[in-house]
């Protein structure tokens, strides 16, 4: 039996390895050419200390100088003494470049493009070698723009289905990828996905969740909700999806479907345009109920433009609420996602 281990490096590059049940994680990484920092191999130096963010494992022997019992209780591990008992996600406190690890490159082809609204485009691609396609829900890749030498960064808006994945992107007038997608794109076009990357991904669900999405920042949450639907989470999950104009509200039917299939999942949509006839106008923070904050006993995930991140931070400060965990990803929709 093998377990899938996601190694998430400090700079957001993620590589996946398969570790046998009787194999040390460090040995599995080295077997595949990944250099996790290590000076000893007997739990004495602490150089290979990382944090396991999800999954079950066992630890061999180590000394207090290498890792304290408090650290062990907080999920820290020594990869030279760790054996996986399930799939795991391990955060490596070193950059991928230091460890001589490069993001994986996956050859893919265009499957379909759909104009969801004047401001949003959905597209799907299929990776030729589907065994290469592994990522954590919420992560992104750099996608090459066919016919050019440039790339654009996009979050996955779905989990893999027979090697196919979906993306939700902003339709930017004059944008390089937008121009391709809305004009010349056709099924079978070749492109390359480089990644996965990013530290914005769904962790183990141990408390209520609050998701805040701005515009096409909805994309990673659609992938996360697929995972939550599959794993059967029963914790309360509330998503607030804020956009600028009525036309920017897309994929609401998918959210409604998730509300019917995930126990405890609710969502609300918000439109900023004062002229909108939408029932909730304003910004996400104007429609954030105190009950969704659970007095701070909540993991908050936010994906949106920098002003939205700053506004939510200020809102929480004014409320005197500090979430148990606050994970966010800022993006400038005029440039990338």
How many domains does one find in the chain?
Answer: 3
Q: How far apart are CA 317 and CA 315, in angstroms?
A: 5
**What's the pLDDT score for residue 332?**
67
Question: Residue 51 falls within a domain, yes or no?
Answer: yes
Domain match, 286 and 314 both: yes
Domain match, 217 and 159 both: no
Q: Domain range holding 156? A: 104-197
Alpha helices, DSSP H only, in the chain? 25-31, 69-73, 176-179, 219-231, 252-261, 306-319
Q: How far apart are CA 58 and CA 54, in angstroms?
A: 13
Question: Residue 238 falls within a domain, yes or no?
Answer: yes
**What's the pLDDT score for residue 72?**
96
Domain match, 246 and 148 both: no
Question: Residue 295 falls within a domain, yes or no?
Answer: yes
Domain match, 118 and 70 both: no
Domain match, 78 and 117 both: no
Of the candidates 64, 92, 120, which is a domain's last residue?
92
Q: How far apart are CA 5 and CA 144, in angstroms?
A: 27
Report the candidate in 58, 244, 330, 243 with the shortest Cα–Cα distance to residue 252.
243
Report the candidate in 212, 220, 88 with the shortest Cα–Cα distance to residue 167.
220
Q: How far apart are CA 241 and CA 260, in angstroms?
A: 17
Question: Residue 99 falls within a domain, yes or no?
Answer: no
Question: Residue 337 falls within a domain, yes or no?
Answer: no
Beta-carbon count within 10 A of 148 CB: 11
CATH number at residue 312: 3.40.50.80
Handedness of CA 201, 224, 157, 118 (dihedral sign): negative
Question: Residue 204 falls within a domain, yes or no?
Answer: no
Cβ–Cβ under 8 Å, residues 3 and 85: yes
Domain match, 164 and 77 both: no
- Provide the b/e sequence for 176-188 (b: ≥16 CB within 10 Å): ebbebbeeebeee
**What's the pLDDT score for residue 331?**
76
Handedness of CA 310, 311, 315, 316 (dihedral sign): negative
Question: Residue 62 falls within a domain, yes or no?
Answer: yes
Cβ–Cβ under 8 Å, residues 94 and 10: yes
pLDDT 10s per residue in the chain (337 long)?
Answer: 999 999 999 999 999 999 999 999 999 999 988 888 888 888 999 999 999 999 999 999 999 999 999 999 999 999 999 999 999 999 999 999 888 888 889 999 999 999 999 999 999 999 999 989 999 999 999 999 999 999 999 999 999 999 999 999 999 999 999 999 999 999 999 999 999 999 999 999 999 999 999 999 999 999 999 999 999 988 999 999 999 999 999 999 999 999 999 999 999 999 999 999 999 999 999 999 999 999 999 999 999 999 999 999 999 999 999 999 999 998 765 444 4
CATH number at residue 79: 3.10.20.30
Domain match, 129 and 183 both: yes
Of the candidates 34, 65, 92, which is a domain's last residue?
92
Of the candidates 197, 217, 246, which is a domain's last residue?
197
């Amino acid at each position: 039996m093998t377990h899938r281990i996601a190694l998430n490096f400090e700079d957001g590059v993620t590589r996946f390895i398969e570790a046998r049940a009787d194999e040390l994680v460090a040995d599995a990484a080295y077997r595949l050419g990944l250099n996790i920092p290590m000076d000893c191999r007997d739990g004495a130096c602490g150089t290979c200390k990382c944090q396991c963010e999800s999954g079950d494992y066992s630890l061999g022997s180590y000394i207090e100088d290498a890792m304290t019992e408090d650290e062990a209780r907080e999920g820290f591990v020594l990869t030279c003494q760790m054996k996986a008992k399930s799939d795991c996600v391990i955060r490596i406190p070193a950059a991928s470049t230091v460890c001589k690890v490069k993001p994986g490159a996956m050859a893919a082809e265009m499957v379909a493009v759909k104009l969801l609204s004047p401001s949003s485009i959905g597209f799907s691609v299929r990776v030729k070698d589907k065994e290469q396609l592994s990522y954590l829900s919420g992560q992104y890749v750099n996608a090459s723009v066919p016919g050019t030498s440039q790339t654009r960064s996009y979050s996955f808006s779905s989990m893999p289905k027979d090697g196919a994945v979906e993306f939700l992107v902003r339709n930017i007038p004059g944008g390089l990828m937008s121009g391709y997608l809305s004009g010349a794109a056709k099924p079978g076009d070749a492109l390359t996905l480089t990644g996965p990357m990013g530290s914005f991904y769904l962790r183990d669900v141990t408390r209520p969740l609050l998701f805040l999405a701005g515009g096409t920042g909805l994309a990673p949450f659609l992938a996360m909700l697929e995972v939550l639907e599959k794993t059967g989470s029963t914790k309360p999950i509330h998503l607030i999806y804020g956009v600028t104009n009525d036309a920017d509200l897309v994929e609401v039917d998918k959210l409604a479907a998730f509300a019917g299939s995930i126990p405890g999942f609710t969502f609300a949509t918000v439109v900023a345009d004062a002229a909108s006839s939408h029932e909730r106008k304003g910004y996400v923070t104007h429609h954030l109920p105190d009950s969704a904050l659970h007095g701070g006993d909540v993991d908050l995930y936010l994906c949106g433009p920098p002003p939205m991140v700053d506004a939510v931070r200020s809102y929480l400060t004014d409320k005197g609420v500090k979430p148990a965990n606050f994970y966010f990803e800022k993006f400038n929709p005029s440039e990338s996602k």
